[in-house]
Amino acid sequence: MRHTTIRRAALLALSVAVAVSATTAARAQPAPGQVAAAEAPAAVRLTLPDAIERALQASHRIGEAQARADAADAAVASRKAADMPTISLIAGYQRTNHVDEFGLPAIGTAPARIIYPDIPDNLRTRLDLQWPVYTFGRVEALERAARADVTAAGKDLAATRADIRLDAARAFWAYATAIESVRVVEEALALVDAHLRDVKNMRDVGLLAPNDVLTAEARASRQQVQLIEARNMRDVAEADLRRVTGIPAGVSIAIDAPLEPAPGGSMSPAELLAEARAHRPERQALEARVAGFGERRSAIAAGLRPTIALVAGFDYARPNPRIFPRSGEWNDSWDVGFNVAWPLWDGGRVKAEVSEATANRRALEQRLAEFDTALDFEVTGRRLDLEAARASIRAATDEVASAAEARRVVAERFKAGLVTSTDVLDAQQELVAARFDRTRALAAARLAEARLDRALGR
């Protein structure tokens, strides 16, 4: 009986333990569609077009430029509405002093009649219409000037987008270059470590002096410092790329683009300059603003011309001044007509404003000419930078091949006892420097490509 009770208690405890374990496991298991808390953050595989698209979406400068373009669109609607009729509802109350009533006395059987009664409370309502039917082209010129501002604002937006694309390309290739630099230093450190092991083994068998080990260890420590600096530059470049693209800090970034530039086509300097002048949005914005100031000048000059407006209205007043004799009753009346206004003398205001608009347009024309001069220099400089970077890549590639072969030969001679450990370390340092030169040349070529595209307005 006692053994049966003990067995039942043990089975009960085991059942409870199994149930608790199952409940704990069920609670630990994430629900369908949910992500476990300990799951690693998502990764982003970033290509250059992806980086540019993210940068365009995250940029506040584009939002500002878009808002300015919207304001220019609204200005066009405002200028266009100036040529439309305006309808106003007017109401007023006026209290006047008491006056002696004036009237005709009774004559015979005719009763006395008040012609001008005492009505101190005057109430008036009017539905008023004003329609400028002819303004000598002033409204149309203002509308055309506003549309030129819309064009300029759109080109400013395009220029901002081009700047963002260039900034994204710069940050993207800077990060790719930093990653490649870290890889180069890590490979160099692996070579130094391997050589350090060989030197220690040769010291242990008495083939080398202890100072050779110290020299190799010092070179390894130097490579460690270079690796720390390279990783720090990589982290800074990654932070800059996150700033440009808006990728949060918890998301890892993997670059999906070769640092090696594709073979570029050849265009003559004249063709490049012609393409830049045809496609640079900044130049197109200046041209639109020059045209806009010309239209403003025309609109201002029309201020000395006559304007014709259609006017109409419906009055409902008590007393109605158009009803005779006056009475304290509500009466309606209407009117329609044309007004012609022709300013004969304004003290020189229009002439001064025309001179101001002309001077502003001339200033913009000079700025456009200066832009063309600077554009010629910019395109030439970007083209030469790209050509120099491509030539540097070819030279650096040959330098890497020569340094790698020299390091291999020196390592073989060291094993044969023909050269010192310092010679091997120097050869390795030359190889690292050659690889760094090639990495910098690749980065310079990529950045030169992006800057040339920006200069050409692509």
Tell me, what's the pLDDT at 41? 52
Answer for the pair 232, 253: CB distance below 8 angstroms, yes or no: no
Q: Is the pTM value of this prediction over 0.85? A: no
Tell me, what's the pLDDT at 265? 64
Single-letter residue type at 351:
K
Beta partners for residue 308, in sequence order: 134, 340
Domain ranges for the chain, please list them. 51-83+140-303+363-456
Give the Å distances, CA to CA, from 458 to 23, 161, 166, 249, 374: 62, 11, 11, 31, 18
Answer for the pair 396, 441: CB distance below 8 angstroms, yes or no: yes
From CA 299, how far away is CA 301, in angstroms rounded? 5
Q: In the chain, which residues have pLDDT < 70?
A: 1-41, 207-208, 262-266
User: Which CATH number describes the domain made up of 51-83+140-303+363-456?
Assistant: 1.20.1600.10
Which token pair is 80? 């266009």
Q: Where are the extended beta strands (E) located within 264-399? A: 307-318, 331-341
Tell me, what's the pLDDT at 207? 67
φ, ψ of residue 353 in degrees (nearest 5): -70, -35
Q: Which long-range contacts (CB under 8 A, 24 or more apart) does 342-351 make?
A: 342/305, 342/306, 342/307, 343/303, 343/304, 346/303, 346/304, 350/300, 350/301, 350/303, 350/304
Between helices 269-279 and 349-415, what is the axis angle to 10°? 130
Ordered alpha helix ranges (H), 246-268? none
3-state helix, strand and coil shares in percent for the chain, rounded to the nearest 5: 65, 15, 20
Residue reference for tokens 């030469």: 384
From CA 41, how far away is CA 23, in angstroms rounded? 28
Give the Å distances, CA to CA, from 148 to 158, 172, 287: 15, 36, 9
Tell me, what's the pLDDT at 416? 75
Tell me, what's the pLDDT at 100? 83
From CA 252, how far away is CA 91, in angstroms rounded? 68
Tell me, what's the pLDDT at 359? 93
Nearest to 135 by CA among 80, 69, 212, 63: 80
Tell me, what's the pLDDT at 264? 64
Single-letter residue type at 439:
T
